[in-house]
Amino acid sequence: MQDDPAKPDAAEVIRVQHLEKRFGEVHAVAGIDFSVYAGECFVLLGPNGAGKSTTIKMMTGLMKSDGGSIEIGGWSVAQSPVRVRSLIGYVPQMLSVDGNLTGYENLLVFAKLYGLRRSERTERIREILERFDLAEAADRLVRTYSGGMIRKLEIGQAVLHHPRVLFLDEPTVGLDPVARKGVWEHIERLRHEQNMTIVLTTHYMEEAESLCTRIAIMSRGRIAALGTAQALRAQMGQPDASMDDVFAHFAGRFEQEEGGMRSVFRSRRTARRLG
Amino acid sequence: MSSGAAAPLAASVDRQRGPWTFVRHALVIVEIEARKLRKDPTELLMRAIQPALWLLVFGQAFSRFRVLPDPSVSYRAFLTPGILAQSITFVSIFYGISIIWEMDMGLLQKIITTPIRLSAFVAGKMCAASLRSLSQAVIILLLALVVGIRLHVSLLSLLGVLFIVLLGGAFFSGLSMVIATLVRTRERMMGIGQLITMPLFFSSNALYPMSIMPGWLKVMATVNPMSYLVDGLRGLLILEPGAHYGLDVGVLGCAIALMWGLNVLLYPRILSA
């Protein structure tokens, strides 16, 4: 990968070097390098099985890498996992709030896990409930929430401790357009008001283009292209191409053998639960 | 690449070390379970029906066989600690199902990306599960009292019973969590649970004293952790002479430590799936 010309001036928050992951014969992530800078919204695009989720899981420490290194805020994910986890928030693709607890309780237990002091806790929980328009529903069981409310609560839960980096795996999958827009507005506000760095995966090209600063297109475990939407078009030689064309140009030329039943099942189920 | 990453960032929250953090984190995991149980205790009430049948129906009928060497102890009183142990085992051995459910959803993955250590998380889950056993103990002891089964009740014996119940619950739920990491689906977990509960129960001293067992069964009962659970409970509840409290607590304690260690080793595998 060439050094990216559109690299922002801000400080480097994430540095990924020669990152690798193998599943048996499959080279799911085949030695990738990239950096993410403070206040960026960095998106990983790619077909199912391209290695996006695997990359995010390795960055959050859920999965061990087979080679290479990841540093977040200057700390190695492999060597200082607990330190790194206090700097990040993670919203998995699947449902990650407890339906049998109220919205308030879901926030409370996470505030405790993040080690917030009692006085901070009350304040942060109130802040999140107001910021995500959940104050009125705070004492209702989460299983009575709508899909959009659940997603907002999940994001709120992940930013209680004001993390430096927020990881979102398919944050808008299965949401209706109105809820999707709401979720995006909240992510944007977190970025602008708290200078939070956002790293996410999505399938929605328009979202990737209009909201993210840089796009990394992954294909077969490699980064096929990385840059702003404009830079990617320029690289392709078609300045007025749609994002779908850009995506197809860099990623879509081969059939993807991975993904399969399990990933289809998982994404549909997530969609159903949220919807 | 630029040299942008200068000094490492200070954590936004910097109180994540030491044994106190371990305990605090484990207690949060227990708190999650406690809050859910308080909201919906139906499952626990339902689970108390089966032990009630054992005590009321089986206990009544079986008491006519006079299998006990000591005629001064009623069979129902003898059986009560056994049924209590059975109930703890059953409620714990299926705990893995809820673990698999939480994992399929994504809840566990999210919890494990907070600054909690995996060892604290596993310890918290095992304690949380033993909380469920505790509720079974309360129900069964009350039931025994209501139907007039005479047990030895003092503050000290009750505290002892609750302690041993917690140990038993932590061990069997730890075992269930180990199985959950190996089988990974709720259906298989259900099957394995069904498969091992009855042999565990019948090869222990829950229904009959070790002294009347044939030799081969004695051997099985000796290696069966449930026997130690029963032994401790029975010693406290009917003042059976010859209970080996030290051995019981020691065996259960070691078994808990083993399960805890295995889970800490096994969980990274499934959390990344």
Are B110 and A96 in contact (CB < 8 Å)? yes
* pLDDT tens-digit series, residues A24-50: 888 999 999 999 999 999 999 988 888
What would the mean pLDDT of A236-263 be, rounded to a whole number? 74
Domains contained in chain A, number: 1
Interface test with A, best of B2, B3, B9 (most A CBs within 10 A): B9
Are B9 and A74 in contact (CB < 8 Å)? yes
* pLDDT tens-digit series, residues A54-72: 999 999 999 999 999 999 9
pLDDT of residue A274: 54
Q: Is residue A244 over pLDDT 50?
A: yes
Domains contained in chain B, number: 1
* Residue B119 located in a structural domain: yes
- Domain carrying residue A222: 12-274
Are B4 and A35 in contact (CB < 8 Å)? yes
Of B8, B16, B32, the CB nearest to A73: B8
* Residue A5 located in a structural domain: no
Contacts of A110 in chain B (CB under 8 A): 114
* Residue B170 located in a structural domain: yes
* Residue B60 located in a structural domain: yes
Are B12 and A161 in contact (CB < 8 Å)? yes
Q: Helix, strand or coil for residue B270?
A: helix
- Domain carrying residue B46: 19-271
Q: Helix, strand or coil for residue A163?
A: coil
Strand partners, A215: A43, A227
Is B4 within 8 Å of chain A by CB?
Answer: yes
Band (pLDDT 50/70/90 cuts) for residue B8 is: low
Strand partners, A26: A23
Secondary element (H or E) of residue B116: none
* Residue A165 located in a structural domain: yes
* Residue A3 located in a structural domain: no
Q: Tally DSSP H helices, then E strands, for chain A.
A: 10, 10
* pLDDT tens-digit series, residues B100-130: 999 888 899 999 999 999 999 999 999 999 9
* Residue B255 located in a structural domain: yes
* CATH code, A30: 3.40.50.300
User: What is d(CA B142, CA B51) in angstroms, rounded to the nearest whole number?
Assistant: 12
User: Contact A154/A91 with Cβ under 8 angstroms?
Assistant: yes
User: What is d(CA B232, CA B167) in angstroms, rounded to the nearest whole number?
Assistant: 11
User: What is d(CA A96, CA A113) in angstroms, rounded to the nearest whole number?
Assistant: 15
* Residue B214 located in a structural domain: yes
pLDDT of residue A263: 61
pLDDT of residue A260: 58
Those residues whose C-beta lies under 8 Å from the C-beta of residue B268, and which sit 6 or more positions away, are A64, B118
In this structure, the dihedral spanned by the alpha carbons of residues A129, A43, A171 and A243, taken in order and rounded to 10 degrees, is: 120
Are B113 and A57 in contact (CB < 8 Å)? no
Using the structure block, give the residue that is written with the tokens 């609560």: A153
Q: Is residue B156 over pLDDT 60?
A: yes
* Residue A78 located in a structural domain: yes
Highest mean pLDDT among B14-18, B71-75, B148-152: B148-152
Tell me whether residue B18 is exposed, middle or buried, using C-beta atoms within 10 angstroms of its C-beta: 0 to 12, 13 to 18, 19 or more: exposed
CA-based nearest distance A92→chain B, Å:
6
What is chain B's mean pLDDT, rounded?
90
Which is it for strands A41-45 and A197-201: parallel, antiparallel or unpaired?
parallel
